[in-house]
Structure 1
Amino acid sequence: MSAVAYTVAFDGIEAKMVEVQCAVTPGMPGFAIVGLPDKAVSEARERVRAAFAHMAIALPSKKITVNLSPANMPKEGSHFDLPIAMALLAALEILPRDEVAGTVSLGELSLNGDLVPVIGALPAAMVAASEDKVLLCPEACGPEAAWVDAARVIAPKSLAAAIRHFTGQGVIEPSTPGEVNGTTTASDFAEVKGQERAKRALEIAAAGRHHVMMVGSPGSGKSMLSKRIPSILPPMSPIEALETSMIHSLAGVLEKGGINRTRPFQEPHHTASTAAIIGGGRTAKPGQISLAHNGVLFLDEFPEFPRSVLETLRQPIETGEVIVARANAHVKYPCRFMLIAAANPCKCGYLADPARACARVPICGDEYMGRISGPLMDRFDLRVEVPPVAYTDLDLPEDGESSVTIAARVAAARQIQTDRFVDAPSVRVNAEAEGRVLEAFATPDSEGRALLNKVAERFGLSARGYHRVLRVARTIADLAGEADVKRPHVAEAVSYRLSLSQEV
C-alpha cells in the first residue's frame, strides 16, 4: 500500500514543492521518515502516532516508510506533520488517494489531533495555485492563505475535521481572505515645531525612496520626525503588499491572516546582532532589512551600532536583496527599503551647541562620526542637520503642513514615477533608476549640468554620489510637477548631499 501527498519546503521567500511518499509494506513494524528531515520533521512520527491513537486509528503492524522527495533537499519545520499524516491516511485507504494527491497541505499536529498554525501559508498558497491544487492548512492560517485568489483553501480545526471533509461526512467551506490591516497613527508632521529643512528632506526621501542621514543634538527631534514618515508614505500596491506579506508570513508576524497595505516601519535597537538586522540564524530567517521591504528601516543612534552590522548594509542598499549563506542554508531575501539614520554629532551630543560647548571639539565629533565608514556614508542620498529647537518655540501654535497635505504631494510624485517606469518593470521609484534609464529621465538642462559638474569637481563626488544627486534632483522635479530637471532642482539636491561634509 502506498500513496502520495504534497507540501512545500521554504528557500527564502520561495516555496518549493515536496512530494510526500508513504509506503506500508510487510516487515519489522516501524515508522521511518527519510529525505533529509531535520529534528522537527523526524519527530513528526511521534505526533502522528499520538494523533491517530486519539482518533482510534490503529497503525498496522507493518513497516511504514515516508520519503520526502526530492531527497537531497533539506526539510525543516513542523509543518510536515499534516502532509505526512495525509499520505499515511491515504496509504491506509482511509482517505481517497486522488483527493490527497490533489492537495498541498501544511500544518503542525498536536497530540490530540488539533492543527496548530505554522508559518508560510501565503507562499504555500502561491505554489498550490500554480500547480492547480487545493491548499489544506490549519484554521488560523486560512485567512492568510486565502489572499491568493487562484487557490482554494480548506482550513480545518483538526485532523479529524480534515478526514470528515475528504470522506464527505462534513464538508468545510473554503476560507475567505482576512481583513486588510491599516495601521492608523495619530502622529502628524503638523505637530513638529520648526525643522522645516528636515521635513523637506523627508518629503523628498518619501517621494523617491531615498536614504537619509539626520545629525543633531539630543532632543532636537530626529526620532520624532522619523516616526512620522509612515504618515506621508502612500499605501503599498497589491504587488508590493503581496511581496512584503510573504516575508512577514515566513517570519510569523502577520496579524490574524490580514494583508498589510501600510508600509512597514522597522526600528531595531542599536544592540541588535548582524543576524537580527541582515537575517540568518540556524534556519536563515529574514532580518529587519527584509521585514522593512517596501517600507522604512529606521536606525536610531546610528554610530552606536556595531561596525560589522553597519558595513553589512552596504551591499543590500545597492542591490535591494540580501543573500544569507549558512552551512545548511543559502537563501535570498528582497530588501528594498528606505534607510533613515539618526545620529548625534559627537559622543556627548553637543558639538555645535554654543550653550553647551563640547570640551573636546573637534576630536569628539571626528572620533564619533568616524565610526561610519566613507563608503557607507556615500550611500546616503540626503544628509541634513537637525538643530535644537528653543523651548520658547514649543509654546507656539501648530503652523506647519499636515501629513495629509505632504502625503498628497508624495503620492502625486510616486504616480509620476509609476507612469515613467512602466516599460522598466524592475524600477519602481527614482532611487532604483540607473544606467540608461537614469540618463533618459534625470539628465538636467545645460545650466543644471554645468552646476553639477562644477560641484563634482570641487568636492570630489564619486560616480555613485554623482548619480545619487541626479536621482534626488529628479524627485525634486517630480514634486514640483516639472517634466525636466533644471538648475534649481540640482542645486537643492546638491545642498542635501554636502550638508554634512564638515562633520564627516
Structure 2
Amino acid sequence: MLATTYGSAVYGVDAQIITIETSVGDGAKFFIVGLPDIAVKESQQRVEAALKYNGFFMPRNNVVVNMAPADLKKEGAAYDLPIALTILNASGQLNASIADYLIMGELSLDGKVRPIKGALPMAVAARQAGFKGFILPKCNANEAGIVNQLEVIGVDHISEAVHHLSGKKIIPPTIIETREVFYNENTAFSVDFEEVQGQENVKRALEISAAGGHNLIMIGPPGAGKTMLAKRLPTILPPLNLSEALETTKIHSVAGKLKTDSRLIAQRPYRAPHHSISDTALVGGGTIPQPGEISLAHNGILFLDELPEFKRTALEVMRQPLEDRTVNISRAKLSVSFPANFMLISSMNPCPCGYFNHPEKECVCNPTQRSRYLAKISGPLLDRIDLHVEVTPVNFDQLTSKRKTEKSEHIRERVLKSRTIQSLRFENIEHVHCNAMMSSNMVRKYCEIDDQGKALLKNAMQKLGLSGRAFDRILKVARTIADLSASEKIAVNHLAEAIQYRSLDRSMWTS
C-alpha cells in the first residue's frame, strides 16, 4: 500500500513543503530516498523502536520512504513522526486521512515527541499551502499557534497523534491571541536609564542613536559603564510592530533559539556575542545555512563589547551586511538570504591598558601601542559607525547622588516623536524607515545645509581627514538631531553636534 503525508524543510527563514510517501510492498528491506542526511536515515531505528514500544509492528516487507522534491537536501530528526505515521497508514494499522496535515516531530525510542526547529515558518507554509492543520510537538505549539486560520495540534506522544487522526481522542487546537500577547509583552523591561547616574553625554548619544537607527561605538576605560548603558538602549527604542515581531520570531525559530513553550518575540532582540565568536557564527552559514548573530539581532541591537578583541576577519565580514541590511550565503546547490537590519552598538578601551585620557589614572601605553590597538578596527568599518562617543568614569559624588535621573519612558517619547517625523518623510519609499537607512541620493535631498553649515563641515573634513562615507554619516546624524528638535532644517548647531561624534577620526587618540 501507499501512504502520503507532508512535512517541511526550512531554507533561510522560509519553509518549503516536503511530500513524504511511504510504500509497503513485496521484499524485506527499508529504504529512505530523496537526498536525506545521516540523521534522516537513522530514523529507521528510532521509528521501529517507538512503534514496537507502543504496541504497533514494523512491517517486515519492503518499505520505501520517498521525500520529494528529491533534489533538496533533507536534514535532522524532525521527519520521524511523519515517517512513522505513513508506515502505520500504509501497513493498515492507522485508518485515517493523514494527507490533510503537515506533520513534524522527532521521536524518542518510547514514542515521545521531541521539539523541532523552525515551527513558525513551517506553520506559515502550512497555512499558505491550504492544509487543514499542523501536527507537531506540544512544546512548539504556542510558537506555531501564532499563525491564525490553521489548526495547530500539539502532541507529546506518537499515540496522541494516532488517536487524534483516527478520531478516538480529538486534541483541541492551540489558539494564541497574537495581538493580546504582543501588546502585553512589548514594553516590559527589567532595566531603566533612571538607574544610571551621570553619563549625560552618553545618554544623549544613545538617544540620537535610537532616534535615527544609527550605529554607535563607546570609547572609555574599564568600569566606566559602557556595557551597562548598552543594555538599557532597548528601553528607549520604538517598540516592534506586529510584522517585525513575526519576522524576528521566525529567525529565532529557524535557529532554534526560542525557549520551550515560547510564543511571540515582542521586544527588540539584544545580542551580545563573546569576542571569540567565529566568522560563521557571527554572520551565518553552514552546510545548510543557518542564521548568525547579526540575523538574530535583526530589528534589534548587536552589541560587540571590547571591539578590538574580535577577530579582524569576523569584523570585516560585517561590512556588507551593515550597508545592505541583508546577508547572502551561497553554496553549490543552495543560495539563501537572511535579513540583518540591526543597530551595531560597540564598546572599546582607548588603549591596551585602558586608561588613556583617564582623569585620574595614568596610561602606560606609548603612541605606537595605542596606534596598533586602534588599527585592529579597520577604517572602512569605523566609517560605517555613525556615532563615536567618549565615556568617562563617574566620580564618587555622582555615584552616591540621590538625584533622580530621567526615566527611559520619557526618553522614548522623544525618540518616538522623531521616528514619526521620519516615517512621514519616507512613507513613499520602500524599505526605508529611519534616517540611518537613507541612500546617498536621499541624503542630498533630505539633509540640505546652508552656506554656514557647508563651511563648518568643510573645515571639519579637512582637519579630521574624513571620507565621503563619513560625510554622509555626519549629515544623517545631523538630520536626526534636527528631528529630535522638531526642526525642518538642519541648523549649524545640529551639524556641530554631529561632527563632535567622530572621536576616532581625531589624531589625539594616537598622540
State the TM-score, normalizing by the size of structure 2.
Answer: 0.92
SS of corresponding position for 1:176: coil
Provide the residue aligned with 1:430 in structure 2. 435
Provide the residue aligned with 1:109 in structure 2. 107
- Residues 474 and 144 (structure 1), Cα distance of their counterparts in 2 relative to 1, 3 Å cut: same
Provide the residue aligned with 1:320 in structure 2. 325
SS of corresponding position for 1:464: helix
Aligned positions of 1:152-231 closer than 5 A: 152-177=151-176, 179-180=181-182, 181-182=185-186, 184-231=188-235
- CA offsets 1:204-251 (integer angstroms, 9 cap, x no match): 111111110111112222112111112212221111111111111112
Aligned positions of 1:239-250 closer than 5 A: 239-250=243-254
Aligned-residue offset at 1:489: 2.1
Provide the residue aligned with 1:8 in structure 2. 8
Provide the residue aligned with 2:421 in structure 1. 416
Provide the residue aligned with 1:39 in structure 2. 38
- Residues 109 and 388 (structure 1), Cα distance of their counterparts in 2 relative to 1, 3 Å cut: same
Structure 2 counterpart of 1:104, which letter? L
Provide the residue aligned with 1:271 in structure 2. 276
Counterpart Cα distance in 1 of 2:162 and 2:24: 19
Aligned-residue offset at 1:199: 0.9
Counterpart Cα distance in 1 of 2:471 and 2:104: 50
Counterpart Cα distance in 2 of 1:286 and 1:350: 37
Task: Say yes or no: does 1:307 pair with 2:312.
Answer: yes
Provide the residue aligned with 2:395 in structure 1. 390
Deviates further, 217-226 or 29-38: 217-226
SS of corresponding position for 1:155: strand
- Residues 91 and 342 (structure 1), Cα distance of their counterparts in 2 relative to 1, 3 Å cut: same
Provide the residue aligned with 1:139 in structure 2. 138
- CA offsets 1:157-177 (integer angstroms, 9 cap, x no match): 222111211221111111122
Aligned-residue offset at 1:127: 0.2
Counterpart Cα distance in 1 of 2:91 and 2:485: 70
- CA offsets 1:445-486 (integer angstroms, 9 cap, x no match): 554445434534554432222222222122112212223333
Aligned-residue offset at 1:329: 5.9
Structure 1 counterpart of 2:56, which letter? I
Task: Say yes or no: does 1:367 pair with 2:372.
Answer: yes
Aligned-residue offset at 1:353: 2.3
Contact 2:351 2:365 (C-alpha < 8 Å) held by counterparts: no
Q: Percent of pairs identical after alignment?
A: 42
Structure 1 counterpart of 2:204, which letter? R
SS of corresponding position for 1:147: coil
Aligned positions of 1:256-267 closer than 5 A: 256-267=261-272
- Residues 448 and 148 (structure 1), Cα distance of their counterparts in 2 relative to 1, 3 Å cut: farther
Counterpart Cα distance in 2 of 1:445 and 1:400: 36
Task: Say yes or no: does 1:238 pair with 2:242.
Answer: yes
Counterpart Cα distance in 2 of 1:418 and 1:196: 28
Structure 1 counterpart of 2:214, which letter? H
Q: Which of 386, 400, 414 is the equivalent residue of 2:405?
A: 400
Contact 2:465 2:505 (C-alpha < 8 Å) held by counterparts: no
Aligned-residue offset at 1:374: 0.6
Equivalent residue pairs, number = 502
Contact 1:473 1:493 (C-alpha < 8 Å) held by counterparts: yes
Contact 2:477 2:498 (C-alpha < 8 Å) held by counterparts: yes
- CA offsets 1:29-88 (integer angstroms, 9 cap, x no match): 122101111111111121111222123222333211111111111101111112212322
Counterpart Cα distance in 1 of 2:499 and 2:380: 18
Aligned-residue offset at 1:317: 1.0
SS of corresponding position for 2:5: strand
Contact 1:385 1:500 (C-alpha < 8 Å) held by counterparts: no
- Residues 197 and 131 (structure 1), Cα distance of their counterparts in 2 relative to 1, 3 Å cut: same
Task: Say yes or no: does 1:357 pair with 2:355.
Answer: no
- List structure 1 runs of 4+ shifted beyond 4 angstroms: 93-97, 178-183, 325-330
Provide the residue aligned with 2:23 in structure 1. 23
Counterpart Cα distance in 2 of 1:167 and 1:186: 47
Contact 2:192 2:407 (C-alpha < 8 Å) held by counterparts: yes
Counterpart Cα distance in 2 of 1:55 and 1:395: 66
- Residues 108 and 138 (structure 1), Cα distance of their counterparts in 2 relative to 1, 3 Å cut: same
Aligned-residue offset at 1:20: 0.9
Task: Say yes or no: does 1:123 pair with 2:127.
Answer: no
- Residues 493 and 165 (structure 1), Cα distance of their counterparts in 2 relative to 1, 3 Å cut: same
Counterpart Cα distance in 2 of 1:86 and 1:418: 50
Unaligned runs of at least 5 residues, structure 2: none
Contact 2:80 2:105 (C-alpha < 8 Å) held by counterparts: yes
Deviates further, 278-287 or 102-111: 278-287
SS of corresponding position for 1:100: coil
Counterpart Cα distance in 1 of 2:95 and 2:211: 55
Structure 1 counterpart of 2:89, which letter? A
Aligned positions of 1:282-293 closer than 5 A: 282-293=287-298
Counterpart Cα distance in 2 of 1:489 and 1:155: 56
SS of corresponding position for 2:155: coil
Counterpart Cα distance in 2 of 1:410 and 1:474: 13
Task: Say yes or no: does 1:86 pair with 2:90.
Answer: no
Structure 2 counterpart of 1:101, which letter? A
Counterpart Cα distance in 1 of 2:441 and 2:90: 59
Aligned-residue offset at 1:282: 4.9
SS of corresponding position for 1:404: helix
SS of corresponding position for 1:214: strand
Task: Say yes or no: does 1:472 pair with 2:470.
Answer: no
Counterpart Cα distance in 2 of 1:359 and 1:439: 45
Counterpart Cα distance in 2 of 1:360 and 1:173: 68
Structure 2 counterpart of 1:173, which letter? P
Aligned-residue offset at 1:434: 1.1
Deviates further, 181-190 or 67-76: 181-190
Contact 1:351 1:361 (C-alpha < 8 Å) held by counterparts: no
Counterpart Cα distance in 2 of 1:435 and 1:359: 42
